């Protein structure tokens, strides 16, 4: 019985061809293209509710604006088991804005104060 299982495993592992062939080498990255999580200006960034948003004892985080739809679509998978408090959050991110930080990353920053 063990020999049969072993032969089936070896046959299954050796029976597939590498995908793509010789022309499937990864394409080189464009050195001028922005990385997926990089920003150049604050308009590249947006605030999104973390698993528990500001109306549920949580906070906001800053991500690239073009990633908001996929972030929201993955919410159930990322946050499915998390319980949120039924309270308004006092986290500073709940009264903030998304800006492009010095390292080219979207960050949460306090609103600019005007006099």
Q: Is the pTM of this model over 0.75?
A: no
The token duo for 32 is 């001028």
In 10 A of CB 91, how many CB atoms?
17
Tens digits of per-residue pLDDT, 3-55?
Answer: 333 333 333 344 344 444 444 444 444 444 445 678 999 999 999 999 999 99
Domain ranges of the chain: 35-110
Tens digits of per-residue pLDDT, 29-39?
Answer: 444 444 567 89
């Amino acid at each position: 019985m063990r020999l049969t299982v072993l032969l089936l495993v070896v046959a299954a592992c050796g029976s597939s061809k590498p995908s793509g062939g010789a022309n499937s080498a990864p394409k080189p990255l464009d050195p001028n293209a922005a990385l997926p999580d990089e920003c150049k200006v604050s308009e590249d960034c947006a605030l999104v509710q973390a698993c528990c948003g500001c109306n549920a004892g949580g906070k906001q985080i800053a991500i690239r604006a073009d990633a908001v739809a996929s972030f929201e679509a993955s919410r159930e998978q990322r946050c499915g088991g998390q319980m949120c408090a039924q309270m308004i959050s006092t986290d500073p991110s709940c009264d903030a804005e998304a800006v492009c930080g010095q390292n080219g990353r979207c960050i949460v920053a306090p609103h600019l104060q005007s006099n």
